[in-house]
Structure 1
Amino acid sequence: MSTVFNFTFVPWFRAVAPYIHMHRGKTFVVGVVGEAIAAGKLGNIATDLALIQSMGVKIVLVHGFRPQVNEQLRAKGHDARYSHGLRITDDVALDCAQEAAGQLRYEIEAAFSQGLPNTPMAGSKVRVISGNFLTARPMGIIDGVDFKSTGVVRKVDVAGISHSLDTGALVLLSPVGFSPTGEAFNLSMEEVATSVAMALQADKLMFLTEKPGVRIRPLEPEAEDNPIDTEIPLAEARALMARLPMPEQPMDVGFYLRHCVTACEHGVERSHILPYAVDGALLLEVYVHDGIGTMVVDEKLESLREATHDDVGGILQLIEPFEKDGTLVKRSRTEIERDIGAYSIVEHDGVIFACAALYPYPEAKTGEMAAVTVSPQSQGQGDGEKILKRIEQRAREMGLTSIFVLTTRTMHWFIKRGFRQVDPDWLPEARKRKYNWDRKSQVLVKNL
């Protein structure tokens, strides 16, 4: 049993390592809806955030309290009132909001303070800092509706939050703000998290919500064959918002999406909508390639480019499994460093998922496409075609009229993409001298 565990755990942990390195020192703003806490998810959420923080991520946690305030209102025989998707906060509702905020802050601090042996929190040292980091102003009257003590964020104490994060603390914010004259205002968790993320220029804004994300066909959310759209470029998200009715309820498609769009428009590169119902959703989104929810990005995270010396380690890590199983001829670090200018790569969110090298033979007006590799994590998603097109483009720029590959296992993939098989004698003389007749590689050529 332990041997099986080792074979599953070790490759998984190695696959996670690039994301651990990439996120160290970054700042995440995490907004958690009050429904998640009411559903009993706080313990696992705190455990996951503590784990993420232990790997060097700076975290600002903003909690919601919609159901908790409504529960307080019911206990006082008072109705909850909403308009434009926001609570109308009269004096009773404001008292309930302050009571709920105090109770939730206590529960959250307690969750981060647990450290029983044989639990995920054992040995964790999470210091939680809360404070008056938000200055607010009244929402005012909109379309004839007086929102009373409902407010909006006027200013974020960036210096205070940053100082607290730099000391290694987790910063906890309640959706309550104060005016310069000391008045209290009820704020929305979504607006607070978005405003803080923009003010800090955070690396990620993450909403842990009732919604699993945005569906591929957003207007058909109940369709069984309608999966979550895991990555939406900002331009597409804007276009989608323009087609949707004004969102007012948390389950409306655009309720969280509009905040993700706003954040991305103001310097937060990645904003996420995640389902709190999925245990470990934060970990899956941060440390797994495809994630679990929807990510809005202000640019396509995928980059197709020529490799640099900084990419040598990533290329070695990518091709090593294929060298071990005999798919690729083994290349040393020295060889890759020497030839790094020949390589093109597909990089996704800082991790290399595909590569290939082009070795030209100008006298024969051809070039060899070598070390063609696509990560198992992204196979079938078009990375192979992208890297092939880039090599073809580079070959044309060099004045070559064809490219060729030597392969023992992937002949059909290349034939489907316009290559034809030729005899090894076709090879340029310089390459023919290096041909390994024992390996019996197939030679495939594509005219450009």
Structure 2
Amino acid sequence: MSSTTPDNQVHWFRQSSPYINAHRGRTFVVMLAGELLDGPRLAPLIHDLALLNSLGIKLVLVHGARPQISARLADAGIESTFEQHMRITDSAALDSVMAAVGALRLKLEGLFSMGLANSPMHNAGIRLISGNFVIAKPVGVRNGFDYQHTGEVRRIDVDAIRQQHSSGNLVLLSPVGCSPTGELFNVNAEEVASTAAIALGADKLILLGDDLRLADPQGELIRELSPQEAGKLLADEQFEDNGVDRQLTAACHAASNGVGRAHLLDASVDGALIKELFTRDGCGTLVTRETYETLRGARIEDVGGILELIEPLEADGTLVRRSRELLENEIHRFAIIERDGMVIACAALYPFPDDKTGELACVAVHPGYRKGERGAQLLGYVERRAREQGLQRLFVLTTLTAHWFQQQGFEAAGVDALPGARQSLYNWQRNSKVFVKPL
């Protein structure tokens, strides 16, 4: 069935509703790398940002300008000099910086003003407000280099930005900052974005770049990093000069200083912003201190999620049916893996203390997450709980997954290996195989 059929669209919309509710009223700082602003992907990105605004998300948009500044300098016959990823900006270069940034501001204001009928922004009515929200200071002289009109962020005018948000406006920050003495400084756009996100207490920092994709040695997308892991990657990797290191540094800085989640997205993926924010697994790399996936003991509020997980397995006979009432009474015996609010795996431990034996039961992993060793993680968790209770072995009854349990160290046994109390409940009609594992 095509993914664009009405049924699939309805399914996707229903699945996205928890995120729509969670994001409403939140503050997101979104950075667009300069490379995107002259490319074909800009207009669709503006449409997606307009959609976020219509869903009640408070947006601060930060734009880069590095390639546009370089082009202006080249046209003026001025050679660019970089130190520590910062352009040394003299008085002549500053004129090119202001021209490039000013042109980009006007371009973005024009795009957000589109309201043609039959277009994605019809009747959007978005006001994009730019101004002197970024207060800067000079970098000064470092390692013998005078950075002149190159600056760094001193502070963000948080109160002014919040005032604009309260009026329903979207705020635009540019990579030029003003000093209290009226001077202008060329500042790093990634620094503006991360500093703004921290100062505003933003819920998310989202960095969109051209081919911004972090991959492991096998070429697979790195979906999640802690700030510590991101810092190690920055120290170990030799990134090409395509902005990835600057954007990863900004994400790491924000995530280390109170911003809940920082996202790195490849803007060449159509709809990357929507996919990242409104689907469970997204399409980019998440840098966060939070644990995106948690293995823990189950609570009463997890009953609905467990029932939804095990229902297909009960229907095909893999698991024995459990009523909601029974599950509520036995919820303390369950462990789950929760991914961003969704129960994606579960298992239960039923102890038989007199026999120093425990039953591993109701092992289930969501079909979309069966390649990540989550079953083995759950088993390890249950084994630790069993040892804490003084149990010396585990047994499991299964009809369809015997090979998996054997791979986890279980050995085939007869019904007589079960504790007496469990033997009396054995369902001979179901004819489950028995496997035992010493602890």
**TM-score where L is the length of structure 1:** 0.87
1:353 is matched with which residue: 325, 339, 344?
344
Instruction: Give distance in 2, aligned partners of 1:198 and 1:61.
Output: 14
Task: State the shift of 1:430 in Å.
Answer: 4.2
The one-letter code matched in structure 1 to 2:48 is D
The aligned residue for residue 282 of structure 1 is 273
**Aligned mates of 2:396, 2:54 — CA distance in 1:** 45
Matching residue of 2:288: 297
Alignment pair present for 1:306 and 2:297: yes
Residue in structure 2 matched with residue 164 of structure 1 by the alignment: 164
Counterpart contact for 1:18–1:351, Cα < 8 Å: no
1:70 matched to 2:87? no
**Partner deviation per Cα, 1:32-64 (whole Å, 9 max, x = no partner):** 111111112111112222334444433221011
- 8 A contact 1:212–1:228 mirrored in 2: no
1:162-214 CA distances to partner (integer Å, 9 max, x unpaired)? Answer: 34335543322111211112222221111100111121232322221134323
Offset at 1:108? Answer: 2.1
For residue 370 of structure 1, report the CA deviation from its aligned partner.
Answer: 2.4
Aligned residue for 1:339, secondary structure, equals: helix
Q: 1:338 to 1:262 in 2, by over 3 A?
A: same
SS in 2 for 1:329: coil
Determine whether 1:241 maps to 2:230.
no
| C-alpha displacement of 1:261 | 2.2
Of 283-292 and 365-374, deviating more is 283-292
Q: Determine the C-alpha separation between the residues in 2 that align with 1:6 and 1:329.
A: 35
Q: Structure 1 120/401 Cα, relative in aligned 2: closer, same or farther at 3 Å?
A: farther
Correspondence for 1:91? 91
1:259 to 250, 253, 256: 250
* Compared CA separation, residues 42 and 153, structure 1 to 2 (3 A): same
Query: Quick one: which of 383, 391, 396 aligns to 2:387?
Result: 396
Number of aligned positions between the proteins: 439
Alpha-carbon distance in 2 for matches of 1:323, 1:21:
31
Q: Please state if 1:323 is matched with 2:327.
A: no
Counterpart of 1:232 (choices 203, 225, 231) is 225
Instruction: Give the Cα separation in 1 of the matches to 2:252 and 2:289.
Output: 8
Residue 6 of structure 1: how far off its partner (Å): 4.9
- Which ranges of structure 1 fall in alignment gaps of 5 or more residues? 218-224
Partner of 2:40: 40
Tell me whether 1:61 sits opposite 2:54 in the alignment: no
Residue 364, structure 1, aligned to residue 360, structure 2: no
The one of 338, 341, 352 aligned to 2:332: 341
Q: What amino acid sits opposite 1:283 in the alignment?
A: I
After superposition, the CA RMSD in angstroms is 2.9
Q: Is the 8 A contact 2:212 2:244 kept in 1?
A: no
> Alignment partner of 1:377: what SS?
helix
Paired residue type of 1:404: F
Partner of 2:181: 181
3-state SS of paired residue (1:95): helix
Distance 2:279 2:144 in 1: 47
CA contact (8 A) 1:210 1:250 kept: no
Structure 1 window deviating more from structure 2 (5-14 vs 343-352): it is 5-14
Describe the SS at the equivalent of 1:132. coil
C-alpha spacing 1:435/1:216, structure 2 compared with 1 (3 Å): same
1:304 to 1:111, Cα distance in 2 relative to 1, 3 A: same
SS at match of 2:5: helix
TM-score, normalising length: structure 2: 0.88
Instruction: Report how far residue 143 of structure 1 moved.
Output: 2.2
